[in-house]
Amino acid sequence: MPALTEETAALPQLDNAEIARYSRHLILPEVGLEGQQKLKAAKVLCVGTGGLGAPLTYYLAAAGIGTLGLVDFDVVDESNLQRQIIHSTNDVGRPKIDSAAEKLKALNPYVNIVKHETMLTSANALEIIKDYDIVADGTDNFPTRYLVNDACVLSGNKPNAYASIFRFEGQASVFATEDGPCYRCLYPEPPPPGLVPSCAEGGVLGILPGLLGVVQATEVIKLILGKGDSLVGRLLLVDSLNMKFRELKLRKNPDCPVCGTHPTVTKLIDYQQFCGIFPEEKPAAMQNGIPQITPVELKRRLDAGEDVFVLDVREPHEYQIVNIGAPLIPLGDLPNRLNELDPNREIVIHCKTGGRSQRAAEFLQKSGFKNVANLAGGITGWATDVDPKLPKY
């Protein structure tokens, strides 16, 4: 595998303190002095400083990557701390990028940290990526996944060390190299919105981004050193529950719309639209034919003694954490338990934040229920606006 850093360009020197710091690398023949200098010369962009970004950036900084670019616009939330180990309890409420930069700088002051406090968009992605040799995608949504992929291909095949996670499972690969497949070769189109739950909806084992983020960091370092076999053309599948690692062969698709022989995507597009996500008008009174009711409005109507049947469609283990006393029929059981519901009563459905209950309401409506509504914001919205004593998860 050819190294990415030009051998002809003068590599940066290491001072005595750096030689002491990187000693365990320097005595590895596969790294050595020259390899460590290549790491120092390298510029790596990490998109996202969350679950994957935390271990990824930590290890890259420790390894002595010369320039580490960070892209994030989010703030640290309490629910991040279970896995985003670069952020601490004291950082809750701070911009993630500041919290991350501080930790990385404390770990290794030799690393030049470049902060891009913005959402990566079609308007800025090429401009941001152009200054880097390698990109590591640690984002969490399909539009950004496709944006990062396309931007890497269109920037002249910048390698993209990729990983993604869901519950107990992860996938990792290296996309967008000159000869290897890109993300679109594997998945030409995104799933329709709502079909694949996010980590916020589906949950994720805290160690999982640790495993996969470290795989990404490993691939980045190997690409810079030009050593070993990279994950180019391979998809690594990690099942942490059964602790099984498998791999699948990936092929470059000659008909790929972005990296194929006759590409149809030659500039960045609207990725929200591509993924079927359209800006919501707020506050939407209706969504897909389902009335949306706010927690405050529902509370008012219940207090007024109106005949409203509230239904919870979350899972039993979520019900255990917090509930508002509504009967529970998990979304997946709904088709078999319709007979438990009265089609003549008004039914307001809730879940955690409103996604699953919207699907449940659409299903009930298709099944002949005339008067169903969705609790916008779910039990989380209820806890925010009606009963702040309830825990949020």
* Catalytic (active-site) positions: 199, 351
Asked if residue 212 binds another protein (CB under 8 A), the reply is yes
Residue 64 or 170: which CB sits closer to another protein? 170
Distance CA 272, CA 190 (A): 11
Distance CA 243, CA 356 (A): 30
Asked if residue 190 binds another protein (CB under 8 A), the reply is yes
- What one-character DSSP code corresponds to residue 280? P
* Of positions 200, 284, 286, 296, contacts another protein by CB under 8 A: 200
Question: What are the residues facing 374 on neighbouring strands?
Answer: 292, 349
Shortest Å, Cβ 248 to another protein: 5
Residue 328 exposed, middle or buried by CB count within 10 Å (0-12, 13-18, 19+): middle
Residue 248, by phi and psi: left (phi above 0), alpha (psi -120 to 50) or beta?
A: beta
Asked if 310 and 384 count as a contact pair (C-beta separation under 8 A), the reply is no
Distance CA 113, CA 108 (A): 10
Q: Which stretch binds another protein (CB under 8 A): 48-56, 289-297, 343-351, 353-361?
A: 48-56
Shortest Å, Cβ 185 to another protein: 10
Q: Which stretch binds another protein (CB under 8 A): 34-42, 44-52, 110-118, 354-362?
A: 44-52
* Of positions 34, 117, 247, 297, contacts another protein by CB under 8 A: 247
Residue type, 372: V
Residue 189 or 270: which CB sits closer to another protein? 189
Pick out residues in 253-312 that bind another protein (CB under 8 A): none
Asked if residue 389 binds another protein (CB under 8 A), the reply is no
Question: How many CA atoms are closer than 13 Å to the CA of 131, on its beta-carbon side?
Answer: 14
Please give the structure tokens belonging to residue 141: 């949504």
Shortest Å, Cβ 223 to another protein: 19
Residue ranges in contact with another protein by CB under 8 A: 48-53, 74, 137-142, 145, 163-169, 171, 186-191, 195-200, 202, 204, 209, 212, 235, 237, 242, 246-251, 332, 335
